[in-house]
Chains A and B, each alone.
Chain A
Amino acid sequence: MITTVTADPQTQQRARPADDPRPAGERADGTDAARGTPLLDLKGIRTGYGRIEALHGLDVAIHPGETVALVGANGAGKSTLLKVISGLQPLTGGTVTFDGENLNRRKAADRVHRGIVQVPEGRQVFAGLSVEDNLMLGAFSRRRDKGVADDLEAMYRRFPILKEKRRLHAGNLSGGQQQMLAMGRALMAKPRLLLLDEPSMGLAPLIIEEIFGIITELKREGITIFVVEQNASEALAIADRGYVLETGDIVATGSGQTLLNDDSVKAAYLGG
């Protein structure tokens, strides 16, 4: 286990009440109660495909306002964990608690209404619908909310390219534009917890920079983000905290900077 002090001073401030008597190393390890109640609390998560278990009872906690990265090799179970949170993958053990409510029996659609919104792996925009329809469907859970039209305008200001292409079928966009659309679509739901599944997958380096720039912007706006990435260095660089997942188990956790500088993590996921 790699457990070290959070590098981001802001998080540290928020995380550690001045009168907390415990030593710093204990307080800031993320799963500690010192941060207050987590927004998302995963305990003993087990799930699998058929008889093959993909996640072997892992614990993850995400606190309000945090950006947390989950890194690991292909097939480690990263996307499976995100699907467990969003409700697409059924649990065989453990509990998913969101904002104090046990979500184990809630379906994916119900979880969206509670504020858990996932940007799926590989974008998965609705290819045969227009860009604007895709964004509007993102707000499906708040379709009776009068503010949706304003939010659409705000989304176009954030992603001007989407406004330009709003009448086109989403399938005609480039990979990077589709990723922006998928993120815009998710933001239209006003997420309390945004789950990003491999946002950089299959994109050119320049576009990846742009996507991570957007994630950093969202982080600054205070949105709680859980990002799953194979591109570990980019993800850990913007994250407050990180988890390293290896064949269904969490093998390391700590602040993003710490993990970035950790030798074993470097060797395994950052290309030495």
Chain B
Amino acid sequence: MFSEFFQFTFSGVTLGAIYALVALGFTLIYNASHVINFAQGEFLMIGGMGTVVLMDAGVPIYFAIPLAIAMAGVAGILLHRLAIAPAKNADVVTLIIITIGASIFLRGLAQVFWGKEYHALPNFSATESINLGGAILLTQSLWILGIAAVLVTALGLFFTRTTLGKALLATSMNKDAASLMGIKTGAILMMAFGISAVIGAAAGVIVAPITLTSYDIGIMLGLKGFIAAAIGGLGSSTGAILGGLLLGLAEAYTAGYISSDYKDAVPFVIILAILFFLPNGLLGSRAVERV
């Protein structure tokens, strides 16, 4: 009984960590530009599929992973340079539609050049699972939790300890005032796209040994990440992490105690409830509006 609960909780937290990373990517770009980047899921795909393709080409895994993540980072910067920046005077809704277009485009490219098959990445550790008090824990889950924790900490330090991180925050709070500080807000936004692509790709790589990867994993993971961000209240990093974990746990408990058929419906039920009862999310911006 307890070991079952422990098992579900553990897989929920693992899944939640992935959603949290995706949600952080959404949050970062949303804060810097108020754009909801629906191409965020494709960065996960580029991370996972890029690693697979590079490994097929004979690149050892410890080079393939950073290369694939760097590739996603470049894709993020190009997305900003080629699709978002040229439309700088467009309104936010137009920009959001552009990101949907970009996600279809990226998915199409992956389908044409990398194929439609599902691929598995090898586990990061040789031992696949360990038995802990009757529950079976995948070692890859430990990798996921560890790497997610490192990424979240690094991002936190970036925002609280570095001038560039603070410049990004300042840009998100007041773009005109930021440019009056000499902050090149266009470059800052480009950096936000790059960082959020890197975080997304890292999530895509670490989850690939468990969930498999293919050209179209970005749709579902991207949507769930967006829901996690919305649960937390778009724009709050803490909220994104919280939303991700809540979503992961809700999915795992539903799959475990009710039926795994309903697993994918959970996020959508939750988002409806949030939109009805807490439109600003759990930690959404309430207080900052000043007259």
Contacts from A to B (Cβ < 8 Å): 86-88, 107-109, 112-113, 117-118, 120, 124-129, 133, 136-138, 140-141, 143, 171, 185-186, 189
For B185, give the chain A residue with the smallest CB separation.
A109
> Provided the pairs A128-B173, A140-B167 are in contact, do residues A108 and B179 lie with their beta carbons within 8 angstroms?
yes
* Main secondary structure on B side of the interface with A: helix
A96 to B182, CA, bound (A): 18
Which residues from A are CB-within-8-Å of B180?
86, 88, 108, 112, 117-118, 120, 186
Whether B176 pairs with A112 at a CB distance below 8 angstroms is no
Which of these, B163, B169, B179, B184, contacts A126 with CB under 8 Å?
Answer: B169
For A87, give the chain B residue with the smallest CB separation.
B179
Identify which of B163, B166, B177, B178 gathers the most chain A CB atoms within 10 Å of its CB. Answer: B177
Which of these, A124, A136, A185, contacts B176 with CB under 8 Å?
Answer: A124
| Count, chain B residues at interface, CB 8 A | 19
A248 to B135, CA, bound (A): 76
B137 CB-CB contact with A under 8 Å: no
Whether B163 pairs with A143 at a CB distance below 8 angstroms is yes
Q: A88-B176, A109-B183 are in contact. List 6 more A-B contacts (CB 8 A).
A: A87-B179, A108-B179, A117-B180, A126-B178, A186-B180, A189-B181
Which residues from A are CB-within-8-Å of B169?
126, 128-129
A138 to B170, CA, bound (A): 11
Which residues from B are CB-within-8-Å of A125?
177
A124 to B175, CA, bound (A): 10
| Contact code string B140-176 (vs A, CB < 8 Å = 1, else 0) | 0000000000000000000000010011011001101
A87 to B180, CA, bound (A): 9
Whether A120 pairs with B177 at a CB distance below 8 angstroms is yes
> Provided the pairs A136-B163, A137-B166, A140-B167 are in contact, do residues A109 and B184 lie with their beta carbons within 8 angstroms?
yes
Whether A127 pairs with B181 at a CB distance below 8 angstroms is no
Which residues from A are CB-within-8-Å of B174?
124, 126
- Min Cβ gap B261→A in Å is 43
- Min Cβ gap B172→A in Å is 9
Which residues from A are CB-within-8-Å of B182?
109, 112-113, 140-141, 189
